[in-house]
Amino acid sequence: MLRIGLFLLTNLAIMVVAGITLSLLGVDSMLQSNGVDLDLRSLLIMSAVFGMAGAFISLLMSKWLAKRSVKLEVIEQPRNQQQEWLMRTVARQAEQAGIKMPEVGIFPQQQANAFATGWNRNDALVAVSSGMLERFEDDEIEAVLGHEIGHVANGDMITLTLIQGVVNTFVIFFSRVIGHFIDRVIMKNERGHGIGYFLGSLFAQIVLSILASAITMWFSRLREYKADQAGAQLGSKQGMVRALQRLQKESQQPSQMPDELLAFGINSGKGNGIRELFSSHPPLEKRIAELQKS
């Protein structure tokens, strides 16, 4: 779940910084229609502008941040047969999927994982862990790479960004409404905006952003099934099923990938209860069952 987690973390940081900046510049105070009430139409327009901008900035930074977060080694020139095979496989699958050849890299991690990211389908990155290359069979790796190519070809990151932009819009909008309520009703501030508004809206924005991420995660879970189908088509169905089964066995071990990056990977670990609501991937047993039915 590397791709989604990093995207969400970056987006949250941008939204918090933007919120503080807007307050310091006095933009919030300009959204009062009469010095007392909020100008809801202007507030909604401002929320949409900054909400969509935050999501797209996160998207543009995704590949750069992913490379540095996992200490990725991008393959410029293959140095051995394994790297040559990896490049040939990705090139073939990219051609089949109708996208340009993405960058290919290996990141040093014993846990089996892989991810794809990038701001558009023709400027993407596909990466696989050293542990997966060591332990998985070629047809299993081929299916996993097809899964990641599927994410790219299906435009999942762009769609995710649009969804996140809409979510950001409402987070910014309602956090200001909540801050305004706290300032007027609880702090009894009758005109202008006081400390209750600034702290209330900032706190509400952080909390609402975390809660709203459940919507993004729900979309991510849906797209995993389609990416599994791509893995079966670009690789093989048997290889995809066996790869998921192997990941299921290895999921008993604790993740070595940073939490903020897990959503981009093929393996996000296990989630139960409320954690499952914020998981970017469906349970592996459900993915295996769905793939076997097709």
Active-site residue numbers? Answer: 148
The enclosing H or E element of 125 equals strand 124-129
The answer to whether 204 touches 173, Cβ cutoff 8 Å, is: no
Question: Hey, what amino acid is at 152?
Answer: V
DSSP 271-287: --THHHHT-SS--HHHH
Of 90, 130, 138, the closest CA to residue 113 belongs to 130
Strands (E), 141-230: none
SS3 label, residue 12 = helix
CB 264 within 8 A of CB 66: yes
Specify the 3-state DSSP secondary structure of 116.
Answer: strand
- Whole-angstrom Cα distance, residue 262 to residue 281? 10
Residues 178 and 204: beta-carbon distance below 8 Å: yes
Instruction: Give the strand order in the sheet containing 124-129.
Output: 73-74, 103-107, 124-129, 114-118
**In this structure, which amino acid lies at residue 23?**
S
